[in-house]
A and B are shown apart, each in its own frame.
Chain A
């Protein structure tokens, strides 16, 4: 089939779905709205499949399908077209996004069945998909930026979907504004690139990338640093991660789609897209790896203490995104995309599973009020169980392969360092602990909910996505089996993903030689640490359920600090936002009203006073007038006589 048509269909199907549901936004028929939206999303998925098939058949991973629709801006140095590219990288993303997106649309039909405004919900969801596709497929940074801001907008709308709750509306606004800070960085990064290279096209930027630039103030380093600021906003990294936990105010399928599987990975995707440029800026790479590693560890510690099922998963997402940045920062771009993909499957699964739990528990999200749900929710439990195994990195599930590749590269890559590996392994241990804690408190042990709850599985539309995602959480890792394992396995499976992405990546030169022993031992260490940590959590929360409280009490202040998320939000509020608001009030009152206006009054008063004084002269007294006239004549004569000479 014609590729132009397919690309148009891929993009426009969700847009049409948005318009259809958007125009009839008052409708309450969740079935119609949901079906249309899901069909739109599935149409996108099918066209994506066909396009990737075409790509494989024609040129393979080194080729690309490019489609130009129209010229967007043509002015001076800005020559930007609405052009879209399907290549090795975007094909992985587009399949993940439309595939998981379709499943989540399907899940939403059941989840939103009691909501009064389903049409609006599905319209937003479709619009999100459209923007995400722009972000992924755009052939230049500016088109990507449309999608970049567009997904932020949809995120805002969906976080605040239940806007009558003031707090949820505030969470939406927080997300948008925090993202805007990142977007300002993105814009500056774009300006630097346009100024330095004269183009925003990814293909041209990739070829123009210079040799590695030392120092901090080179144009490429600055550009990439500013772009990374954009990434920290969208992908919730330190210091701009604060919006993501609050974003859990949105409906749970939204958290699964936008705030776990797709949108939040946009920053990683952008960096991988521009990998030749980032490789040319070693200092930026160092910053990315450091921030990524720090976020991975830091967010995981907060995850240990949260009681809201979605908040645990939210911090887990922040932490896992940290791993992706860690990978990108050490030059393991393939590993970053690999983890992005496997994470999309298992985190979407975990979020949808939590949605299923919340749905079953009539909107209860506190895991202290759950427990023992396993017999009530067999499908949810089984699938969640697989997701749990995947995220803590138990072989041969998906998370193991991708996380292990990141850890190995953090250790082995010339851009890496053993400390980064250490942080990664510690983070993995924490991940195993908080995920097991979540599993234990939610599904295992004794039930702690009242008798008024009658947990039950949702309809098939909710079960099917869980099953499909669970399947992929198990097998998705098999397309990226490391060589060290592949050569031992029967049939010697190759690292397919690495081969697929290779033509687009500029990779660091790895040390030559045989590293089988080190790689295998590091791998065993991380698996053992995760397993031990998981066992410890099981022991704490199932075998000795009163132990955690005692430990928490003995830790005292440290525990409260972590429970309160290190009080970062409070810090931003008291040190940044409040002073800014107070200062603005001060500007208004003291500068506008008290200063500028005062001056204008002063000037008008001056004229009025002068006028008053002058009025005194015209008092109607003839004698005075004669005196003025005489003075006038004399002065004129003096002037004429002195000057006329």
Chain B
């Protein structure tokens, strides 16, 4: 029950928030709820077994039996940290937006909690239709967040964001439907379970494009690539970030982009082994180009938020480079980089938001001299900058190092280009830091009486800074939890299978639900047979 609880508790919170009146009450309750959700989700860690790649804490109930669709949740090393990242960032966002969201406070927090459910569901769902449902659900609160609380061009940005991601989702939905039909041939009954999808070995012919496996691979991957976003499908991101309110940017960069890379990890790579081997180069090239392209374009951005947005394109390129290296170093690095990016880019957006709240400008050239005026802010910003440019002893280094090493060990040439990102990353971040914080007081600094970070803002940043160093100095504390799952994936990339760990507390539930769902499958299969007979 723990996973269902974790997933739907935020929705319950959202419902409770509907009943509250004052904005102050809403914020306070939301903060308490956010943290309690985090601690409840941390309970997963206490029940999680690290030595096995199996799916754990599984819950499965029959749902739409005619098509083998079940309510199926489970967690393994691939999703564990993403779940915790989500529940960790949510309360930080709530505290971070304490003063920046002034209108429709209640609606904002309700959207946030529903979004949290959607994101958690995406990471925990082990049924493809359920996954799709959560995946799409996450668009709606985000749509409102940008569209209602966003900047001047928010409608343009939110429609662009929506259309881009919807476009990808359509392909994914087609592939899911196709694969559900295919399961009947293999297993004898319809199943939308991701575990059954792994057992399908869809036909593949090397060099031919129009084979089911390649098409499904591409259909899933395009949906995920748009979300990541992978060059050249990234142009919705800078607009969405610039127009989104600070908390929207944080959640977008911090968690939603990881839904894309998680999709690669959960679907594209294990389900379509031959297609990955044969067509992976497309993604490697796009990732490498994205690393350099994102960094170059970030370098010439006049707007801080846009700069950080393009830096995301570059950093997420690293993630894909690591994933498609298909070795343990690259994949673990990619998983680590997902968390890094969530922490440090989330923190960067929070920091940019803090200064925006004071001056209502993000234009870099109007700043200067902030380090003398806001020393504490400058220190926090600098630490996060270090994390972003992957200086050793911060989290960024571990991710980048493992990814580049993985890419090198895979024997491909991409690492020699990707390594340019190491240099360019330092260029654009330090360029921004120099122009915003160093030099004499800029125009905007002269005209505002600026106050350094207050206690609330320090409390927002401290957990993130602690994580930056914790992950950088003791990466094993994080990697060890995911290692079995990643090892399993790397070693069995052809013929990947995922078993359900029955030796957990929810055992009886599993057996019962398994029984239900199997009965469900049979009926569905029978009904489809009878339909054919009639015809």
On A, residues with C-beta under 8 Å from B are 25-26, 70-78, 145-146, 149-150, 153, 156, 160, 163-166, 169-170, 172-173, 176-177, 180-181, 183-184, 187-188, 191, 194-195, 580-581, 583-585, 587-588, 591-593, 596-597, 600, 604
Residue of B327, B402, B439 near A166 (CB, 8 A) is B439
In the complex, what's the smallest C-beta–C-beta distance from B248 to chain A, in angstroms? 21
Known: A150-B393, A184-B423. 13 other contacts (CB 8 A): A70-B474, A77-B409, A78-B402, A149-B397, A153-B386, A188-B415, A191-B404, A195-B408, A580-B296, A587-B293, A592-B297, A596-B232, A604-B163
Asked if B235 and A75 sit within 8 Å, CB to CB, the answer is: no
Given contacts A78-B402, A164-B440, A588-B297, contact A169 B434 (CB under 8 A): yes
Given contacts A166-B438, A180-B426, A191-B408, contact A75 B297 (CB under 8 A): no
Asked if A164 and B372 sit within 8 Å, CB to CB, the answer is: yes
Give the contact stretch, choosing among B76-84, B137-145, B475-483, B527-535.
Answer: B475-483
Residue of A71, A176, A191, A587 near B296 (CB, 8 A) is A587
Closest chain A residue to B328, Cβ basis: A76
Asked if A173 and B475 sit within 8 Å, CB to CB, the answer is: no
Which residues from 222 to 269 on chain B have a C-beta closer than 8 Å to any C-beta of chain A? 232, 235, 238
What are 10 residue pairs bridging A and B, where the CB atoms are less than 8 Å apart in the complex? A73-B479, A74-B476, A75-B483, A149-B391, A173-B434, A177-B430, A188-B408, A581-B300, A584-B296, A588-B300
Assembly CA distance A48 to B372 (angstroms): 38
B146 adjacent to chain A (CB < 8 Å): no
In the complex, what's the smallest C-beta–C-beta distance from B230 to chain A, in angstroms? 12
Assembly CA distance A76 to B331 (angstroms): 11
Asked if A145 and B392 sit within 8 Å, CB to CB, the answer is: yes
B332 adjacent to chain A (CB < 8 Å): yes
Given contacts A78-B402, A163-B438, contact A173 B297 (CB under 8 A): no
Tell me how many residue pairs across A and B have CB atoms closer than 8 Å: 129
Asked if B419 and A187 sit within 8 Å, CB to CB, the answer is: yes
- Highest count of chain A CB atoms <10 Å: which of B301, B327, B405, B474: B405
Which residues from 111 to 166 on chain B have a C-beta closer than 8 Å to any C-beta of chain A? 160, 163-164
Assembly CA distance A583 to B427 (angstroms): 15
Asked if B419 and A184 sit within 8 Å, CB to CB, the answer is: yes
Which residues from 5 to 34 on chain B have a C-beta closer than 8 Å to any C-beta of chain A? none
B375 adjacent to chain A (CB < 8 Å): yes
On B, residues with C-beta under 8 Å from A are 160, 163-164, 232, 235, 238, 293, 296-297, 299-301, 327-329, 332, 368-369, 371-372, 375, 379, 386, 391-393, 397-398, 401-402, 404-405, 408-409, 415-416, 419-420, 422-423, 426-427, 430-431, 434, 437-440, 473-476, 479-480, 483
For B160, the chain A residues whose CB sits under 8 A away are: 600
Assembly CA distance A226 to B509 (angstroms): 57
Asked if B419 and A188 sit within 8 Å, CB to CB, the answer is: yes
Asked if B408 and A76 sit within 8 Å, CB to CB, the answer is: no
Assembly CA distance A104 to B420 (angstroms): 36
For A585, the chain B residues whose CB sits under 8 A away are: 300
Asked if B404 and A150 sit within 8 Å, CB to CB, the answer is: no
Asked if A194 and B438 sit within 8 Å, CB to CB, the answer is: no
Residue of A74, A149, A163, A184 near B392 (CB, 8 A) is A149
Asked if A166 and B430 sit within 8 Å, CB to CB, the answer is: no
In the complex, what's the smallest C-beta–C-beta distance from B162 to chain A, in angstroms? 11
Asked if A77 and B329 sit within 8 Å, CB to CB, the answer is: yes
Contact residues of A: prevailing secondary structure: helix
For B401, the chain A residues whose CB sits under 8 A away are: 187
Asked if B332 and A75 sit within 8 Å, CB to CB, the answer is: yes
Residue of A76, A169, A592 near B438 (CB, 8 A) is A169
In the complex, what's the smallest C-beta–C-beta distance from B432 to chain A, in angstroms? 11
For A593, the chain B residues whose CB sits under 8 A away are: 235
Residue of A76, A580, A591, A596 near B332 (CB, 8 A) is A76
For A76, the chain B residues whose CB sits under 8 A away are: 327-329, 332
Closest chain B residue to A25, Cβ basis: B375
Residue of B402, B423, B474 near A180 (CB, 8 A) is B423
For B379, the chain A residues whose CB sits under 8 A away are: 25
For B301, the chain A residues whose CB sits under 8 A away are: 588
In the complex, what's the smallest C-beta–C-beta distance from B164 to chain A, in angstroms? 7
In the complex, what's the smallest C-beta–C-beta distance from B96 to chain A, in angstroms? 24
Asked if B415 and A191 sit within 8 Å, CB to CB, the answer is: yes
Asked if B434 and A596 sit within 8 Å, CB to CB, the answer is: no
In the complex, what's the smallest C-beta–C-beta distance from B465 to chain A, in angstroms? 13
Assembly CA distance A469 to B408 (angstroms): 46
For A188, the chain B residues whose CB sits under 8 A away are: 408, 415-416, 419
Asked if B422 and A180 sit within 8 Å, CB to CB, the answer is: yes
For B430, the chain A residues whose CB sits under 8 A away are: 156, 173, 176-177
Asked if A26 and B375 sit within 8 Å, CB to CB, the answer is: yes
For A177, the chain B residues whose CB sits under 8 A away are: 423, 426-427, 430
Asked if A184 and B422 sit within 8 Å, CB to CB, the answer is: yes
In the complex, what's the smallest C-beta–C-beta distance from B385 to chain A, in angstroms? 11
Closest chain A residue to B336, Cβ basis: A75
Asked if A183 and B422 sit within 8 Å, CB to CB, the answer is: yes
Asked if A592 and B426 sit within 8 Å, CB to CB, the answer is: no
For B415, the chain A residues whose CB sits under 8 A away are: 188, 191
Assembly CA distance A119 to B492 (angstroms): 55
Asked if A75 and B438 sit within 8 Å, CB to CB, the answer is: no
Assembly CA distance A177 to B423 (angstroms): 7
In the complex, what's the smallest C-beta–C-beta distance from B387 to chain A, in angstroms? 12
Assembly CA distance A382 to B475 (angstroms): 53
Asked if A78 and B329 sit within 8 Å, CB to CB, the answer is: yes
Top 8 A-B pairs ranked by shortest CB distance? A169-B438, A146-B392, A584-B296, A76-B328, A166-B439, A163-B438, A191-B408, A180-B426
Given contacts A164-B440, A191-B408, contact A581 B402 (CB under 8 A): no
For B427, the chain A residues whose CB sits under 8 A away are: 177
Assembly CA distance A70 to B293 (angstroms): 38
In the complex, what's the smallest C-beta–C-beta distance from A318 to chain B, in angstroms? 21
Assembly CA distance A360 to B296 (angstroms): 46
Assembly CA distance A194 to B405 (angstroms): 9
For A26, the chain B residues whose CB sits under 8 A away are: 375
Assembly CA distance A400 to B238 (angstroms): 60
Closest chain A residue to B333, Cβ basis: A75
Assembly CA distance A25 to B371 (angstroms): 13
In the complex, what's the smallest C-beta–C-beta distance from B222 to chain A, in angstroms? 14
Closest chain B residue to A165, Cβ basis: B439
Asked if B296 and A75 sit within 8 Å, CB to CB, the answer is: no
Assembly CA distance A309 to B329 (angstroms): 49
Given contacts A146-B392, A181-B423, A191-B404, contact A73 B293 (CB under 8 A): no
For A25, the chain B residues whose CB sits under 8 A away are: 375, 379
For A176, the chain B residues whose CB sits under 8 A away are: 426, 430
In the complex, what's the smallest C-beta–C-beta distance from B296 to chain A, in angstroms? 4
Asked if B431 and A173 sit within 8 Å, CB to CB, the answer is: yes
For B296, the chain A residues whose CB sits under 8 A away are: 580, 583-584, 587
For B369, the chain A residues whose CB sits under 8 A away are: 164
Assembly CA distance A345 to B372 (angstroms): 35
In the complex, what's the smallest C-beta–C-beta distance from B479 to chain A, in angstroms? 6
In the complex, what's the smallest C-beta–C-beta distance from A18 to chain B, in angstroms? 12
Closest chain A residue to B425, Cβ basis: A180
In the complex, what's the smallest C-beta–C-beta distance from B128 to chain A, in angstroms? 27
Closest chain A residue to B392, Cβ basis: A146
For B416, the chain A residues whose CB sits under 8 A away are: 188
Asked if B438 and A187 sit within 8 Å, CB to CB, the answer is: no
Residue of A73, A163, A587 near B476 (CB, 8 A) is A73
Assembly CA distance A72 to B327 (angstroms): 20
Assembly CA distance A166 to B372 (angstroms): 13
Assembly CA distance A160 to B438 (angstroms): 9
Closest chain A residue to B236, Cβ basis: A600
Assembly CA distance A195 to B408 (angstroms): 9
Assembly CA distance A149 to B386 (angstroms): 11
Assembly CA distance A588 to B306 (angstroms): 11
In the complex, what's the smallest C-beta–C-beta distance from A323 to chain B, in angstroms? 28
- Highest count of chain B CB atoms <10 Å: which of A26, A76, A195: A76
Asked if B328 and A75 sit within 8 Å, CB to CB, the answer is: yes
Assembly CA distance A153 to B393 (angstroms): 12
Asked if A592 and B431 sit within 8 Å, CB to CB, the answer is: no
For B299, the chain A residues whose CB sits under 8 A away are: 581, 584
